[in-house]
Every structure is written in structure tokens, then in C-alpha cells.
Amino acid sequence: MRIIVADDHTMFRHSLTMLLKREGFDVLAEASDGVETIALALRLKPDAVVLDMNMPNLNGVEVTRELARLGLNIRTIILTMFEDDVSVREALRAGACGYVLKTQAPTDLVQALHELDQGRIYLSPGITNNMVDVCLRRDESSDEESSDALTSRERQILQLVAEGKATKEIARLLNLTVKTVESHRSRLMRKLDTGNIAGLVRHAVRQGIIRA
Amino acid sequence: MRIIVADDHTMFRHSLTMLLKREGFDVLAEASDGVETIALALRLKPDAVVLDMNMPNLNGVEVTRELARLGLNIRTIILTMFEDDVSVREALRAGACGYVLKTQAPTDLVQALHELDQGRIYLSPGITNNMVDVCLRRDESSDEESSDALTSRERQILQLVAEGKATKEIARLLNLTVKTVESHRSRLMRKLDTGNIAGLVRHAVRQGIIRA
DNA sequence: GTGAATCTCAGGGATTTTCCTGAAAGAAAA
DNA sequence: TTTTCTTTCAGGAAAATCCCTGAGATTCAC
């Protein structure tokens, strides 16, 4: 099974890679941020990608979304520190095949990868099982609160802005024009009802898109 | 070299332990919180303890302080995600022999352990080296506040900026010139080591000056 | 297919931020 | 008292943000 490991904490990433290799997985490469992960995935076409949730540039869910959009048949497992209800739901909706807590033993991740190989979805114990039902029910029913819901692209931009990246830098990272990024930023401000970057940052922190 | 590894993220802890064993260290035990770490250290008398900074019950610095107080000759290395100036200083004052960033490769920790074995202090690259001098000088001299501690006025400005107020508005609120406010804001950015408002907002949230 | 939403990009102009240097007055500490 | 720190303010220049309209492309649902 050919996989890529993505996490911005090199110490964790290297350690984990070693462990996974020992477990018989073929770790093709490591990435330390979301954009790099996408690039590597495109090049190496792995079977699966293990994604840290909180990464610079693009978080785990966004990477999942992007990989799904690109139509590559690459499954992903989100690795995270928090058993956040909302995050789990978003991860699953983005198409992630697994949601594994870092508080769990590495065997948990190994199991998740095996489940994924069988085409199944795996959630760490500690995440309520009815979570899945809840998610699915939500999915089918309706999207009422989606009036000001941010789009995937907008969340991407929001994260980068909140991280302090300049417009020019964001444009380069995402391969867009400066004007496009400005356009997104403006729309974000309108949606989030704020007239400046400070407001965007607070929103991003509040919504867990970045940590302060 | 007999060591204990303490981190509440089991996935990271197990992976790291495996790596350290491979490097020839004798990992006596693992702990998932501060209190457990103390208990284990008392029982097993390791040469060193690798401590995650953010642990339940007692964080890495507190454990270091406690171990020092108990008079056991157990050296510690603090492992953390952030290169926070204040944390580094506190860790060193508590008696830690190393401060290693998780964003660094595992070899960085290995090196830290070797330095520790030689009775030296090790800080991850990325943490300014003069940090040590600064800390020591501070240590000798006095205990009031750190160098880049914000003044009262600066905290005021920081709060208003983080709340999304425009410079002009802040100036009006505080009866100052726009130029003065700009001056304060610039100094804040220099002190907090950031080049834009997003960074200021994150600092303000982190330091509890505003709520996100 | 039609419509709605999203994503992309552009022009332009007012305003703001960012980054320098420099400097004076008052308060606090050495 | 001298020095250091804080606070105040200025000028100027480059860069970025903010705000608006408009518009082609694509995608997705109905």
C-alpha cells in the first residue's frame, strides 16, 4: 500500500513514517503542508494520504476536498488532536475515509489504513458512532444554515489570510491572480460582516480554521 | 541512557519511542500526563525525561520544576509545537536542559539528548541563540517583566487593533494622532515579531487580550 | 436546458498599512 | 543627575488593502 504522510511537525512525521514502514506500508513521501501534499499526490499517485488536520497553507480537510475534486482516486485519513464534532462531519463530507485521533495508539492509524484498503470508513474510538448517522441524516435533509456558509475556496483563502500571508503570497500559493484573491477576501468580509483583516482572523480562530 | 517519554498524544509518543529505541536509547516507560510522569520518574529514576509542553494535569515546565524540587538528578527536555519566547524562558528557568520544537526532525531531539548527556543545554534551531543570554541576564538582574513585555499603552493599542478598529478610529478614541497610533502599532509588530495585522490579532487572542 | 452559485479575473480609485528615520517631552530607574 | 524607557508626533514613500462594478467560465441542481 503506497501512502504519503503529511504533517507539519517533522518530529511526529518522521517518527510516524518509520513506524508505518515497519508495519509494511510503502511511504512514498512526506509533506509538511497542504500545498506540498497536493503536489506530491499528483506526482506520485499514492493509494492513500495520511493528513494532519492543522497544517499551514491548506488543512487536512481542504486537501481532501481538493484531491476529490481532482478526480484522482486517492483516499485520505485525517489525523487530528481534537474530537471535534464539526470537524469530523466536515472531514467525512469532504470525502475522507478516516478520522483518527492523535491521542490514540499508532495501531489505530494502522487499522484505519487497513479499513480504508477494504473500502471502508474508519473513525477512532472516542468519536461517537452515531456521529456517522448524524452526518448522513444532515446530509440528506437540508442545508438551512448554509446561507452565509463559506465555500471551500473561501475557507482556503480565509486560512491563509488569517495566517498572515499577503495577498501576493496567497495568489502564488494557490496559483491565482492577485485580483482573484482580493475578490475572495472581499466576499469573505461581506459574508462575515467585517471590514478588515482583524475580523477575518478572529472568525478563523473562532471557527477553528487556524489556532491563535 | 535511560529515559522516559511523556506526551498525551499516544500516536506521537509510541512513534517517538520506537524511534528513540532504534537510536539506542533505553526507554523505560511512557507517560500520558504530568502527574503520571512524576510518579514514573520517582520509581524508575531515569537519566532524562522527554516532556511534551502541553499535557493534562501538569505541563512540561511544571513537571520540570517539580522534578527539580524533589532533588532527583533527572534532566528534562521540553518538546513543544511553538517557539514561544516566554515558554522557552520559563522552561530554562525551571531547569530544563533542552527546548526542542516538534517542527524539527527527530534527529534534533536525539542531538538534544546527547548534549544533555554531556551536561549541556540544547535549543532547537529556530530559537534565537541569544535567547539564552537574554534569559540568563534577566535571571541575574531582576524579575519584573521580560524585554518585549508590552507596555500598558501598547496593550491598549493591540486590543483595539485586534478588535478591528481602524487606525483613525483608535486615534480618535485615545485622543492621539494617527501617526502616534501607527508608531505604536509598528513597535508592536517588531516586539511580537510579525509583519501584519493578522499576526497582532493572533497574539492578542493567544494572550487573552481579546476573545476570538 | 435553464438558472443559480462558484470561481475566475480586470480596472480604477480612495484609503490604509507598512516601514523608514528622527525627535522632543516626561516619567522612572540607575 | 544621568540614563533609560515610554509616549508622543512628523515626513515620506512603497505597498497593500478596501470597495465598487462588471464579466466570462464552469459546475451543479432542477
State the amino acid at position B17 in one-letter form.
T
Q: Do A102 and B11 touch (CB under 8 A)?
A: yes
Q: Taking a C-beta distance cutoff of 8 angstroms, is the pair A7, A55 a contact?
A: yes
Could you read off the pLDDT of A72-131 as tens digits, one per residue? 889 999 999 877 666 787 888 888 999 999 999 999 999 999 999 998 889 888 775 545
Distance in Å from D26's C1' to A67's CA comes to 18
pLDDT at A125 (0 to 100): 83
Could you read off the pLDDT of B143-172 as tens digits, one per residue? 323 346 788 899 889 989 999 999 999 999
CB atoms inside a 10 Å sphere around CB B52: 26
pLDDT confidence of A148, banded at 50, 70, 90?
Answer: low
State the amino acid at position A140 in one-letter form.
E
Cell 481602524 belongs to which residue? B166
Could you read off the pLDDT of B15-32 as tens digits, one per residue? 999 999 999 999 999 999
Coil, strand or helix at A9: coil
- Measure CB to CB from residue A11 to each of B109, B200, B206 and give the nearest one: B109
In a mutagenesis test of the B interface, which of A11, A16, A22 is the best target, namely the one with the most B β-carbons within 10 Å?
A11
Could you read off the pLDDT of A63-79 as tens digits, one per residue? 998 898 888 889 999 99
Give the chain B residue nearest A193 (alpha carbons). B164
Q: Is the pLDDT of residue B195 over 50?
A: yes
Cell numbers placing A171: 495568489
CB atoms inside a 10 Å sphere around CB B86: 12
pLDDT at B144 (0 to 100): 29
pLDDT at A111 (0 to 100): 95
**From its phi and psi, is residue A91 left (phi > 0), alpha (psi between -120 and 50) or beta?**
alpha
The answer, for B43 touching chain A at a CB cutoff of 8 Å, is no
- Measure CB to CB from residue A9 to each of B103, B200, B203 and give the nearest one: B103
Give the chain A residue nearest B159 (alpha carbons). A198
pLDDT at B129 (0 to 100): 52
pLDDT at A28 (0 to 100): 97
User: How many angstroms separate the CA atoms of A60 and A48, rounded?
Assistant: 13
